[in-house]
Amino acid sequence: MVKYYQHILALVFAINEINKDPKILPNVTLGFHIYDSHSSPSLAYRVTLDMLCKSQAFIPNYKCGLQNNVIGVIGGFDSETSSYMADILGIYKVPQVGFNLGGTIDQTDAPFFYRMVPNEDFQIWGIVQLLLHFEWKWVGLITKETKSGEHFLSTLEPMFLQNGICISSKVILPKNIGIYDMLEGFFNNVEAFMKGKENVTILYGEVGSFAWLTFFVSANVFLDVDDMSFAVKVWIMTAQIDVALHIIQKAFNMQAIHGAISFALQSRDIEGFQEYLQAIHPSDEEGNGFIKEFWEQSFDCFIPPYGDPTGFLGPCTREEKLESLPAPFFEMRMTGHSYSIYNAVYALAHAFHIMASSRLRFHARAKENPTPKHHVIQQI
């Protein structure tokens, strides 16, 4: 989804700030690599090994040398990917900073995994308090078939029982939701929502969950399904769900879910970030492998000299403005997820600055004894 491009820009912006700041890691230049696991467990393991090993052709059970002085890893974008990464990074004692709320990674099992967000149980408590405040006693639940989804249900359901809140319908979505999965999910669950007594539905998920909700509502309108009670439901979304639409959903009317309530990750305006976004331009393609695809998808055009294989799109004018994009596709203010990534970069930088100031040469001594750097990160 094009909106997630802001997460990359937030990371680059933070690194550029640090590299220009003489007070943080002087005489040290931070760099980065970005890997995409495509929500595949096997690929998540592979790219994690790739970022650690000097050779792309790594050998199983071989102790590869860390390349490029990897001081830490940020991610993954969803809780499942974070868990797969932690399995590998923990072996090499490489710090991993998670920026999303979901997940069941235990610090005991993954001692080198750190979070930039509060424990998810606080959000679950907040959901219960919200329902009690409005006296909503019948609720529907939509969650994902993941460990984090299981944890959400196992924690929430006993609290519902204690507070007299009843679950009238429950839908568990598959891990990876494609367009056909969305369509199948609609037809499989439409009857449950029609007959449900609930006046509020809680949507728990991560990547793609908001797109599923909007597709669900759109299918109701398109198929003209009468007596659909969910059309007037109150939707409650958890904080890890980003209000982001797929590029094919440009025609979706956000008023269809008017009144939805979403918990949010903390964010704030970062000085200079909006100006940084305004300066983004497709002419900066060198060294930016994402800008071309992002620009073409966002503005339905192609960047010359590349052609459009479909023959339907015209050339980009290069006069397009990011601020003209609707918020579900791109925001000019830093989102909560981007802010967590921004803070994760600074957390790692400050930790290693403290080590450098203490004359602990992390690129030499950390390989022999990685414990000090983790002690420092825990104090940030």
Eight-state DSSP code of residue 77 = S
- Domain annotation for the chain: domains and CATH numbers: 2-117+331-379 (3.40.50.2300), 120-262 (3.40.50.2300)
Residue type at position 164: G
Predicted confidence at residue 23, as pLDDT, reads 93
Element (H, E) at 96: strand 96-98
Alpha-carbon gap, residue 254 to 213, rounded angstroms: 11
Predicted confidence at residue 236, as pLDDT, reads 92
Instruction: Tell me if 90 sits within 8 A of 76, measured CB to CB.
Output: no
Query: Which residues are CB-neighbours of 171 under 8 A, at least 6 positions away?
Result: 140, 141, 142, 143, 185, 189, 192
Alpha-carbon gap, residue 289 to 304, rounded angstroms: 16
Alpha-carbon gap, residue 28 to 351, rounded angstroms: 14
Alpha-carbon gap, residue 311 to 316, rounded angstroms: 14
Q: How far apart are the first and last CA of the chain?
A: 32
- Show the beta-strand stretches assigned E in 227-295: 234-237, 261-262
Alpha-carbon gap, residue 114 to 13, rounded angstroms: 22
Predicted confidence at residue 13, as pLDDT, reads 97
Predicted confidence at residue 362, as pLDDT, reads 46
Predicted confidence at residue 230, as pLDDT, reads 52
Mean pLDDT per block of 10 residues along the chain (380 residues) reads 88 96 91 86 89 62 59 86 90 88 71 85 94 94 86 94 92 69 63 69 80 69 51 81 76 73 90 95 79 90 77 86 89 93 94 77 53 63
* HSE of 217, CA atoms in CB hemisphere, 13 A: 23
pTM of the model: 0.85
Residue 235's beta-bridge partner residues? 201
